[in-house]
Amino acid sequence: MQYIECPLCGRALAETGNVLRCEVGHAYDIARQGYVSMLGGDASKGTADTPAMVQAREAFLGKGHYSAIADAVAEAAAAALADGAQGCVAEVGAGTGYYLSAVLDRVSDRPGIALDISKAASKRAARAHLRIGAIVSDAWDRLPMRDGAVAVLLDIFSPRNPAEFERVLAPGGVLIVVTPTPRHLGEIVETLGMLVVDDRKDERLETAFEGRFERVTTMLVERRLELLHDDVSAVAGMGPSAWHAAGDLSARVAALGEPTPVTLSVNVVTYRQISFG
Ligand SMILES: [Zn+2]
Strands 27-29 and 19-22: antiparallel
Is the pLDDT score of 224 beyond 80?
yes
Separation between Cα atoms, residue 201 and residue 197, nearest integer Å: 7
Evaluate whether 6 touches 26 at the Cβ level (below 8 Å).
yes
Listed residues: CB within 5 A of ion ligand 1: 6, 8-9, 11, 22, 24, 26
Domains of the chain: 47-276 (3.40.50.150)
Q: How far is the CA of 26 from the centre of ligand 1 (A)?
A: 5
Of the candidates 39, 50, 135, which has an alpha carbon nearest to the alpha carbon of residue 92?
135
227, with CB counted inside 10 A (0-12, 13-18, 19+), is buried
Q: How far is the CA of 146 from the centre of ligand 1 (A)?
A: 12
State CA 133 to chain mean position distance. 14
Mean per-residue pLDDT, 2-16: 95
Please give the pLDDT value at position 238. Answer: 84
Q: How far is the CA of 44 from the centre of ligand 1 (A)?
A: 21
Calculate the average pLDDT of the chain. 90
Q: How far is the CA of 209 from the centre of ligand 1 (A)?
A: 29
Please give the pLDDT value at position 59. Answer: 94
Of 124 and 252, more confident: 124
Mean per-residue pLDDT, 13-17: 93
Evaluate whether 51 touches 96 at the Cβ level (below 8 Å).
no
Please give the pLDDT value at position 24. Answer: 96
- Alpha-carbon distance values, 198 to 62, 131, 181, 184 (Å): 28, 36, 8, 11
| % pLDDT > 90, the chain | 72
Q: How far is the CA of 147 from the centre of ligand 1 (A)?
A: 15
Is the pLDDT score of 202 beyond 80?
no
Q: How far is the CA of 42 from the centre of ligand 1 (A)?
A: 16
Please give the pLDDT value at position 236. Answer: 84
Of 82 and 43, more confident: 82
Q: How far is the CA of 16 from the centre of ligand 1 (A)?
A: 15
Give the HSE-up count for residue 273: Cα atoms under 13 Å, Cβ half-sphere.
20
Of the candidates 21, 163, 1, 29, which has an alpha carbon nearest to the alpha carbon of residue 88?
1
User: Which amino acid, residue 42?
Assistant: D
Evaluate whether 159 touches 92 at the Cβ level (below 8 Å).
yes
User: Structure pTM?
Assistant: 0.93
Mean per-residue pLDDT, 68-78: 97
Of 202 and 6, more confident: 6
Mean per-residue pLDDT, 94-106: 97
The one-character DSSP state at 259 is S
Q: Where are the beta strands (DSSP E) in 122-205?
A: 132-136, 150-156, 169-180
Q: How far is the CA of 79 from the centre of ligand 1 (A)?
A: 35
Is the pLDDT score of 276 beyond 70?
no
Please give the pLDDT value at position 277. Answer: 46
